[in-house]
Copies of this chain bind each other. A is one copy, B any other.
Amino acid sequence: MNPNAANALARVRVVLDHPSHPGNIGSAARAMKTMGLTRLVLVAPRRMPDEEAHALATGAIDVLQGARVCASLREALEGTVLALAFSARRRQLSHAQLGVREAALEAARAAAGAEVALVFGNEQAGLSNSDVLLCNRLVHIPSDLNYSSLNLAAAVQVAAYEMRMALGERKLHAGAGERATLQDLEKLYEHLEESLRVTGFLDPGKPKRLMERLRRLFARAALEREEVAILRGMLNAYDQARSPRGKLD
């Protein structure tokens, strides 16, 4: 593995959202370390630290002990430009679903110059729709139609393996422009929502549906930082053209 790939792996965090079983946290830490991933983030774990987690981490105690604990997924994703939401479920309205191999290739490109997150939900409930929409890709691990229930640590193992393979297999280049962080995007979405509400285009009776569609659209577009600035500049221009109490009065 070349130094670039090692640096890219260091920019990849694994986020476990509300994990129930400490044993899975330990096994996930081990799975990560075998593939060279070391940054574990836990969102509101039920128990931590825990003896069983330590026992199952075996040689990856350092990863476990270095884990960051966050109160929310939003906090866990701070600074990232790409967050892959792993889910076995099909969802009615969400980002297009990618296979883990394809998603890992995109994540490898992004990690050449920026922060990336692999996000896994709770063992029973998985990720909620709003969790998925905080991320910008929905990813599935190909599996049997009749039994697609990978253990949490097993899913982390496959994802980490594909990350390593993706970094080993291709030359890294970060693309033309600097990608927007998820925080930039959240600010854009907030701005957009507020702006659309004021115009009346956003129906307060069904506010979520529209914003979901827009999130999906912009997520697919893989926005660059400059493009977000341009979009927000546009929104500002619209907002200012309307106020003080422009056409609404």
Copies of this protein in the complex: 2
Minimum CB–CB distance for A62 against chain B, Å: 10
Does residue A34 face the partner (Cβ distance < 8 Å to B)?
yes
User: What is the 8 Å Cβ interface bit string for chain A, positions 115-155, against chain B (1 contact, 0 not)?
Assistant: 00000000000000000000000000111110111110110
- Chain A interface size, as a band, is 20 to 34
In the assembled complex, the Cα of A13 lies from the Cα of B90 at a distance in Å of 30
In the assembled complex, the Cα of A154 lies from the Cα of B58 at a distance in Å of 14
User: What is the 8 Å Cβ interface bit string for chain A, positions 1-44, against chain B (1 contact, 0 not)?
Assistant: 10000000000000000000000000100110111100000000
Q: What are 5 of the A-B contact pairs (CB < 8 Å)?
A: A34-B148, A34-B154, A36-B143, A143-B164, A157-B158
Q: Which 8 A-B pairs have the closest CB atoms?
A: A36-B144, A154-B157, A34-B143, A33-B147, A34-B150, A158-B161, A59-B147, A31-B154
By a beta-carbon cutoff of 8 Å, the part of chain A in contact with chain B is 1, 27, 30-31, 33-36, 58-60, 101, 141-145, 147-151, 153-154, 157-158, 161, 164-165, 168
